[in-house]
A and B are shown apart, each in its own frame.
Chain A
């Protein structure tokens, strides 16, 4: 079975902290994605990576960066967390462009 694992289910961080969200997939997928999900706004793409060390900005990259040093791992970094980054963060991966995307269980981040 396809498996995408996010390192934390729940996180509480303080304003100004640097926050790392980790995602690992075990399917040798090329593509990995970070989304955030907010009530009334749905899922929005933050960043995506199509290969090791390659990344592309999504719709809402401001305040975030990413790292993909190994094929199976994709990290989302909040350089200086702010309260408006309180959200559910979802990682996904897919083998190729026309393949299904598989999601992790989500990380509920609260910034206080």
Chain B
């Protein structure tokens, strides 16, 4: 059974720092990995999608990498801002015949001014 782990569970940094969020998964038979952002009490916002054949994806200050063989992904946030404060979730797409996403429990990020 696929298990997705995110470390750390919480992170507090001052504004302007570059930071890395980690996601690991136990079964490398995935077809994609997606990073989401969730603000308190809200739904999920899709940030980046990496297909299993890709190594990384970039969007603005965000860069996500994928090492399928080692079961790891990282989300790099450059020059963090207070508006980046949220919970970040990674989810792996399993190849079960339909798109089943298995989620980690998230990293809660606080960026202080």
Q: A and B: real partners?
A: yes
Considering only CB atoms, which chain B residue lies closest to A4 in the complex? B43
**Docked complex Cα distance between A108 and B104 (Å):** 20
Count of inter-chain pairs, beta carbons less than 8 A: 61
Interface residue tally for chain B (C-beta within 8 Å)? 23
A101 touches B41 (CB 8 A): no
**Docked complex Cα distance between A92 and B89 (Å):** 15
Main secondary structure of the interface of A (DSSP, over half): strand
Main secondary structure of the interface of B (DSSP, over half): strand
A105 touches B43 (CB 8 A): yes
A48 within 8 A of B: yes
Give the residue of A33, A42, A97, A101 whose beta carbon is less than 8 angstroms from that of B34.
A101
* Residues of chain B lying within 8 A (CB to CB) of residue A102: 46
In the assembled complex, how far is the CB of residue A40 from the closest CB belonging to chain B, in whole angstroms? 7
In the assembled complex, how far is the CB of residue B99 from the closest CB belonging to chain A, in whole angstroms? 5
* Residues of chain B lying within 8 A (CB to CB) of residue A40: 105
A106 touches B42 (CB 8 A): yes
A31 touches B99 (CB 8 A): yes
Binding site for B on A (CB under 8 A): 4, 6, 31, 33, 40-43, 45, 48, 50, 56, 58, 90, 92, 94, 96-106, 108
